[in-house]
């Protein structure tokens, strides 16, 4: 028997070579290469959503319609962020005070959540209080609040009669959340924000949730200072600080005057040019629900907003002007067109002197009633060490410090304690995976075939929906025995049907096998392997993964539907009079999608063998830095279930659950 099987496998390999190898799809279909398929598909869905939003915007005419839009967008925004925690004591401490030229500073450490420390510098004018206060969220500078541009805008505000409060974002400055044994950052900036976003997504929150809450608590501190007029609060920041200013000005009504810099464009132009950026800049289902960059300004209308921008920014200037025009019309319909404006400088991305001067003039106009030109002049900035608030330069070295990951772990445990048991209805609601009976029949075409000794290899293209083509190899034995097998492999079908692959052995045993590349895998994979950066921690195709997230879609859910459609097709393939349930074999990264398909439609499968799958989502939350799992997460899933709940929903006699792994790829028990 062993010799016979070996001969069949060798003949099997020969047939593959005769069939021109494992490639099924042509170099291009409709001008789209296989590796570009998912991007083209998602861009089409995004374009349709943008068109719907434009049509809805053009219908906004009356004050009642405008107010309803503001209320709906704000409610959606808070929901997508997962809401905010209760306010707890700030336990703020001023750790140092210094007199400077024309202003003074105080170094501050406060807790935005219990033992979650924030480092900040308060710049105070040499003037008689009270005076307005302006929050300054930082962009993605490695040294956070110590960056020259953020010191400069804060000093300029203070010299012009306003208090400025500039604080370190998480994973920058003194707030890196993951340190090695020597107390040095493991990962930081946009990469760290995206790493945090993987586990946060499962909890139904976002990296932006942490960032926004830090900003709101910073306003609590600023507005609580006796020198500051709590009714005259402004906010300005550049780049990532422009993102935070945009978010905060939309959500915190205490912000009277705002000036986001070098961030606002339009989502249409963003995805058409540089694509989605790091996790905090991607709000779940934002494109699908029609919340665009202009809405950050429109939600707060008619409070004053200055959009600062640079002509040669990588954030598209055309999109910025589209957003400004939308906001201007919205404010105009409310009767306050003068309260939104745009300042553009012919420069690259950055908070340069012209934008800083425009920002301070805007703040003085609306917070102090003074509308005069502002000239920056010479500003001396301090070194990183001179801006340091903590004794050893990092908040995570403070006694009892809790990281963002600690906060997420605590939330995951809290949610686990509240779960009431597996519910297929809840899983369908959260994932959007449709019932098998509701999935349309796929278009299937033959792309080639070859005959071998005792079997046939047929190349198929299965199209479950417009724009999606699943390259498939069907191995049809002359004499069939046992259930047909649907084989999905995380590295694509080529990993399963090579010279020593498992598919050959199944065919040798007389099994009809369908080896499928699920969307975004195998021939249609856009991934590029990287050992660091966002691509490492989110996935090589991270921009498409985030685009799907903005559309309210997950790769896991779409792949689960691919599995269901292919299983139904295979059940009736090969001339079977009566369709029969198929055997499902899943290897590696396809595991979570296969688990969902099998748990939701167990009757579609005679047996399920899943090997090397991620064992639980909880391990992603608790084991940073885990890499490449974003393709297998679903927003808010851990509020209702975890992967072991799906395992438990599959009849034990049908399931082989082999070698599951944790978030770091280590063996994990069931």
> How does DSSP assign 206-266, residue by residue?
-HHHHHHHHHHHHHHHHHHSTTEEEEEEEEEEETHHHHHHHHHHHH-TTEEEEEEES----
Q: How far apart are CA 595 and CA 608, in angstroms?
A: 9
Residue 502 pLDDT class (50, 70, 90 cuts): confident
Q: How far apart are CA 408 and CA 391, in angstroms?
A: 26
Does any domain span residue 260?
yes
For position 560, which CATH number holds? Answer: 3.40.50.1820
Summarize pLDDT for 415-458 with one digit per residue, the tens: 999 999 899 999 999 999 999 999 999 999 999 999 877 889 99
Does any domain span residue 232?
yes
Whether the pLDDT of residue 9 is over 50: the answer is no
Assess whether 584 and 472 both reside in one domain: yes
Average confidence (pLDDT) over 475-486: 92
> How is residue 667 annotated by DSSP?
B
Give the DSSP H/E element, type plus range, for residue 56. helix 37-58
Structural tokens at position 249 = 């000005």
| Residue-level pLDDT at 344 | 98
Average confidence (pLDDT) over 372-393: 97
| Residue-level pLDDT at 454 | 80
Does any domain span residue 634?
yes
Assess whether 247 and 308 both reside in one domain: yes
| Residue-level pLDDT at 16 | 56
| Residue-level pLDDT at 517 | 98
Structural tokens at position 592 = 């979570």
**Exposed e or buried b for every residue in 532-545, given b needs 16+ CB within 10 A?**
eebbbbbbbbbbbb
Average confidence (pLDDT) over 149-168: 98
Q: Under DSSP, is residue 300 helix (H, G, I), strand (E, B) or coil?
A: helix
Whether the pLDDT of residue 91 is over 60: the answer is yes
Assess whether 304 and 157 both reside in one domain: yes
| Residue-level pLDDT at 73 | 98
Distance of CA 575 to the CA centre of its chain: 44
Average confidence (pLDDT) over 105-130: 98
The residue out of 392, 414, 436 marking a domain boundary is: 414
Assess whether 294 and 239 both reside in one domain: yes
Does any domain span residue 35?
yes
Summarize pLDDT for 254-296 with one digit per residue, the tens: 999 999 999 999 999 999 999 999 999 999 999 999 999 999 9
Percent of the chain with pLDDT over 70: 95
299 to each of 266, 293, 317, 490, 590, how far by Cα in Å? 15, 10, 22, 43, 41
Assess whether 285 and 319 both reside in one domain: yes
Average confidence (pLDDT) over 46-58: 98
Does any domain span residue 522?
yes
Give the DSSP H/E element, type plus range, for residue 5. helix 2-18
For residue 181, give its domain range: 92-373+382-414
Give the DSSP H/E element, type plus range, for residue 359. helix 353-368
Higher pLDDT, 390 or 625: 390
Average confidence (pLDDT) over 467-483: 94
Assess whether 240 and 132 both reside in one domain: yes
Does any domain span residue 626?
yes
Summarize pLDDT for 225-238 with one digit per residue, the tens: 999 999 999 999 99
Assess whether 458 and 590 both reside in one domain: yes
Cis ω on the peptide bond leading into residue 575 (within 30° of 0)?
no
The residue out of 414, 437, 465 marking a domain boundary is: 414
Structural tokens at position 644 = 């072991």
Whether the pLDDT of residue 5 is over 90: the answer is no
| Residue-level pLDDT at 11 | 44
Cis ω on the peptide bond leading into residue 625 (within 30° of 0)?
yes
Q: Which phi-psi region, left, alpha or beta, contains residue 610 (left: φ > 0; alpha: ψ -120 to 50)?
A: beta
Assess whether 549 and 472 both reside in one domain: yes
| Residue-level pLDDT at 1 | 39
**Following DSSP, what letter does each residue of 166-193 receive, concatenated?**
EEPPTTSTT--S-B-TTS-BSS-HHHHH
| Residue-level pLDDT at 106 | 98
The least confident of 7-11, 175-179, 469-473 is 7-11
Nearest CA-CA partner of 607 in 653, 571, 564, 574: 653
Q: What are phi and psi of 166, to 5 degrees?
A: -110, 125
* Averaged pLDDT of the chain: 94
Does any domain span residue 67?
no
Does any domain span residue 420?
no
Assess whether 432 and 299 both reside in one domain: no
Assess whether 480 and 437 both reside in one domain: yes
| Residue-level pLDDT at 18 | 45
426 to each of 320, 621, 632, 636, how far by Cα in Å? 40, 21, 18, 11
Summarize pLDDT for 290-342 with one digit per residue, the tens: 999 999 999 999 999 999 999 999 999 999 999 999 999 999 999 999 999 99
| Residue-level pLDDT at 576 | 62
Q: Tell me the sheet residues that pair with 47.
A: none
Higher pLDDT, 48 or 668: 48
User: What's the total number of domains in the chain?
Assistant: 2
Assess whether 35 and 162 both reside in one domain: no
Assess whether 508 and 627 both reside in one domain: yes
């Amino acid at each position: 028997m062993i010799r016979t099987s070996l001969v069949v496998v060798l003949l099997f390999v020969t047939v593959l070579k005769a069939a021109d190898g494992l490639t099924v799809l042509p170099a291009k279909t409709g001008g789209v290469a296989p590796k570009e398929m998912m991007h083209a598909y998602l861009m089409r869905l995004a374009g349709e959503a943008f068109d719907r939003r434009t049509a809805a915007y053009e219908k906004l005419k009356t004050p009642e319609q405008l107010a309803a839009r503001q209320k709906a967008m704000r409610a959606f925004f808070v929901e997508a962020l997962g809401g905010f925690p209760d306010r707890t004591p700030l336990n703020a401490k001023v750790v140092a005070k210094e007199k400077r030229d024309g202003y003074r500073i105080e170094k501050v450490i406060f807790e935005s959540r219990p033992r979650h420390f924030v480092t900040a510098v308060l710049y105070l004018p040499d003037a008689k209080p009270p005076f307005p206060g302006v929050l300054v969220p930082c962009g993605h500078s490695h040294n956070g609040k110590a960056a020259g541009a953020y010191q400069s805008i804060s000093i300029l505000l203070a010299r012009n009669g306003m208090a400025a409060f500039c604080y370190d974002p998480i994973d920058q400055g003194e707030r890196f959340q993951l340190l090695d044994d020597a107390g040095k950052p493991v990962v930081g900036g946009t990469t760290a924000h995206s790493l945090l976003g993987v586990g946060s997504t499962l909890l139904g929150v976002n990296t932006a949730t942490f960032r926004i809450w830090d900003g709101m608590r910073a306003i609590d501190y600023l507005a609580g200072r006796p020198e500051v007029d709590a009714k005259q609060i402004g906010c300005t920041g550049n780049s990532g600080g422009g993102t935070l200013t945009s978010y905060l000005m939309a959500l915190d009504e205490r912000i009277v005057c705002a000036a986001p810099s070098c961030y606002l464009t339009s989502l249409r132009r963003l995805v058409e040019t540089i694509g989605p950026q790091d996790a905090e800049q991607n709000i779940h289902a934002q494109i699908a629900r029609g919340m665009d960059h202009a809405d950050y300004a429109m939600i707060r209308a008619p409070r004053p907003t200055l959009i600062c921008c640079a002509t040669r920014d990588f954030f598209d200037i055309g999109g910025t002007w589209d957003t400004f025009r939308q906001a201007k019309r919205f404010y105009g319909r409310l009767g306050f067109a003068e309260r939104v404006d745009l300042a553009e400088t012919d420069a690259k991305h950055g908070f340069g002197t012209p934008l800083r001067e425009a920002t301070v003039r805007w703040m003085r106009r609306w917070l102090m009633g003074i509308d005069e030109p502002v000239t920056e002049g010479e500003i001396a900035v301090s070194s990183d060490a001179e801006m340091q608030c903590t004794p050893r330069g990092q908040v995570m070295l403070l006694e009892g410090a809790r990281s963002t990951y600690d906060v997420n772990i605590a939330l995951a445990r809290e949610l686990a304690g509240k779960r009431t048991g597996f519910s297929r209805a809840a899983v369908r609601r959260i994932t959007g995976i449709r019932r098998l009976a509701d999935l349309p029949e796929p278009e299937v075409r033959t792309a080639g075939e070859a005959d071998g000794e005792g079997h046939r290899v047929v190349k198929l293209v299965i199209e479950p929906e417009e724009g999606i083509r699943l390259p498939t190899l069907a191995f049809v034995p002359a004499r069939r025995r046992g259930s047909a097998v649907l084989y999905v492999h995380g590295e694509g079908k080529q990993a399963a049907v090579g010279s020593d692959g498992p598919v050959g052995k199944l065919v040798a045993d007389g099994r009809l096998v369908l080896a499928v590349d699920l969307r975004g895998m195998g021939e249609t994979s856009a991934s590029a392997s990287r050992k660091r950066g966002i691509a490492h921690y989110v996935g090589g195709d991270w921009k498409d993964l985030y685009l799907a997230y903005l559309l309210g879609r997950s790769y896991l859910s779409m792949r689960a539907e691919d599995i269901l459609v292919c299983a139904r097709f295979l059940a009736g393939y090969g001339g079977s009079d009566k369709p029969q349930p198929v055997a499902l074999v899943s290897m590696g990264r396809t595991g979570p999608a296969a688990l969902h398909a099998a748990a939701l439609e167990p009757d579609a499968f005679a047996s399920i063998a899943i090997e090397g799958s991620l064992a639980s989502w909880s391990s992603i939350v608790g084991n940073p830095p885990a890499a490449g799992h974003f393709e297998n997460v679903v927003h808010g899933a851990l509020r209702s279930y975890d992967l072991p709940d799906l395992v438990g929903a599959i009849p034990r006699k049908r399931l082989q659950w082999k070698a599951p792994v944790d978030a770091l790829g280590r063996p994990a028990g069931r």
